[in-house]
């Protein structure tokens, strides 16, 4: 496994705990919010180093921010980049514990 480097914590911001992410957890998949500039290779290295698991696949998507109204003024939420990380068979990560 790779050694943990400080920039791994910059690549992976936080795990996303949603109803959909708990459903795909049964298929050995974890969903993370990642840095907008992170590529698939960097995400794979960071997950393998931080959680000591082997990653088979990384899929990324960018969720565009919504336009919302706050106290009569228009505002815009930030764009969010997500990564769906597929783990090797028989491996898992306990997201509820911290790093």
User: Rounded distance, CA 21 to CA 54, Å?
Assistant: 19
In tens, the pLDDT along 34-90 reads 999 999 999 999 999 999 999 999 999 999 999 999 899 999 999 999 999 999 988
DSSP codes, 68-97: EEETTEEEEPPPEEEEEEEEPTT----TTS
Per-residue model confidence (pLDDT) at position 94? 77
Per-residue model confidence (pLDDT) at position 54? 94
The mean per-residue pLDDT over the stretch 21-44 comes to 94
Give 5's strand partners.
Answer: none
Which domains, ranges and CATH numbers included, belong to the chain? 8-87 (3.30.70.330)
Per-residue model confidence (pLDDT) at position 37? 94
């Amino acid at each position: 496994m790779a050694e943990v480097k400080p920039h791994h914590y910059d690549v992976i911001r936080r795990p996303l705990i949603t109803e959909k992410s708990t459903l795909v957890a049964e298929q050995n998949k974890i969903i993370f919010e990642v840095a907008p500039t992170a590529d698939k290779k960097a995400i794979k290295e960071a997950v393998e180093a931080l959680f000591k698991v082997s990653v088979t696949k990384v899929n990324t998507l960018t969720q565009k921010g919504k336009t919302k109204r706050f106290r009569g003024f228009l505002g815009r939420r930030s764009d969010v980049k997500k990564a769906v990380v597929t783990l090797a068979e028989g491996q898992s990560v306990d997201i509820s514990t911290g790093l």
